[in-house]
């Protein structure tokens, strides 16, 4: 499902607690594609949060693992994330 929603990533493994803002481009039951402005190493675990714009719908929060990091044009990167756990 195409999303194009703002997302906040929090690193859990290396540099724990560091936050990165990005855009969720695609979302499925098992993973997501996130566009960010810096590369992240494979197998890093992240906390993912997509805030809801509707008070009756809860924000999406998940733990995910980086399974792909592809360089795009103009210093942007597309992360492929595998969802480990949904909250």
User: What is the Cβ-side half-sphere exposure of residue 29, based on CA atoms within 13 angstroms?
Assistant: 0
Say if residue 75's pLDDT is above 70: yes
Rounded Cα–Cα distance for residues 25 and 4 (Å): 5
Give alpha helix (H) positions in the chain: none
* Both structure tokens of 48: 């993912």
What number does CATH give the domain 2-86?
2.40.10.220
Domain residue spans in the chain? 2-86
Task: Supply φ then ψ for residue 51, to 5 degrees.
Answer: -70, 140
* pLDDT tens-digit series, residues 23-71: 999 999 899 999 999 999 999 999 999 988 888 888 899 999 999 999 9
Give the tens place of pLDDT for each residue, 8-19: 999 997 677 889
Q: pTM of the entire structure? A: 0.88
């Amino acid at each position: 499902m195409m999303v194009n929603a703002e997302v906040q990533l929090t690193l859990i493994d290396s540099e724990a607690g560091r936050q990165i803002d990005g855009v969720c481009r695609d979302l499925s039951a098992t993973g997501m594609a996130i566009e960010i402005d810096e590369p992240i190493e494979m197998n890093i675990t992240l906390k993912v949060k997509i805030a809801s714009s509707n008070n009756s719908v809860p924000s999406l929060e998940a733990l995910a693992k980086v399974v792909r990091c592809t360089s795009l044009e103009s210093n942007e990167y597309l992360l492929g994330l595998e969802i480990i756990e949904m909250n």
